[in-house]
A and B are shown apart, each in its own frame.
Chain A
Amino acid sequence: DTEVTQTPKHLVMGMTNKKSLKCEQHMGHRAMYWYKQKAKKPPELMFVYSYEKLSINESVPSRFSPECPNSSLLNLHLHALQPEDSALYLCASSQGGSGLGSQPQHFGDGTRLSIL
């Protein structure tokens, strides 16, 4: 069991659908992350939020829209995705603050996304 909870665990959607991925952490962390991982590849950073503000966007296409409603919650809104966006989407959190980037990140179980 992890302290970073992601829902749903699996999602199948069409290219015209709108859906959202959700992430919640209960560790009091102030930094949260979205990663995308394809099979046999390492996680690829998409977004970083620090103290509920977007601090890093790795030039992700606008069909992915992140949102951080509060320090415990992170959403990823999906719209008009492409088949190549099928992947495992991982949320992570870390303490945050001045040591951001130097702290261990703890991952949730991920959402496996399939685009038809």
Chain B
Amino acid sequence: QKEVEQNSGPLSVPEGAIASLNCTYSDRGSQSFFWYRQYSGKSPELIMFIYSNGDKEDGRFTAQLNKASQYVSLLIRDSQPSDSATYLCAVNRIYNQGGKLIFGQGTELSVKP
């Protein structure tokens, strides 16, 4: 089992619809969860982070965390063609000397006009 799992997609949604991106993780000790958006040929851009169970909203984006189910999701409301990108879920892993992010494989989202 991979430490962070995402459906690779592509996930295709029509313009204006809600896109739902899902991520599961295996380490119950993980405390911090991040969503990055990466356009083709560009670097990852942080769009959301969440530390507590429940929902966190920022504009059209909502991150949802359920630590009991080891599940984190990203909802994009009113999807636009400009949202077409790969979305990377990342989860922290703590070491004695610091920490690192573990990335999922990414979900490719395509929003059709």
Q: Which residues of A contact B (CB under 8 A)?
A: 2, 31, 41-43, 45, 48, 50, 55-56, 88, 90, 100-110
Contact = CB atoms under 8 A, between A and B. Distances in A.
What range describes how many residues of B lie at the interface?
20 to 34
B61 interface: no
6 contacts: A48-B98, A55-B98, A100-B99, A101-B94, A105-B34, A108-B43
Interface of B: 31-32, 34, 36, 42-46, 49, 51, 88, 92-95, 97-101, 103-106
Contacts of B42: 109-110
Residue in B43, B46, B103 whose Cβ sees the most chain A Cβ within 10 Å: B43
State the majority secondary structure of interface residues on A: loop
A9 B44 CA distance: 15
A107 B94 CA distance: 20
A48 B99 CA distance: 9
Nearest to A2: B43
Contacts of B95: 56, 101
B100 A90 contact: no
B44 A45 contact: no
Contacts of B101: 45, 101, 105
A105 B32 CA distance: 12
B103 A101 contact: no
A108 B46 CA distance: 11
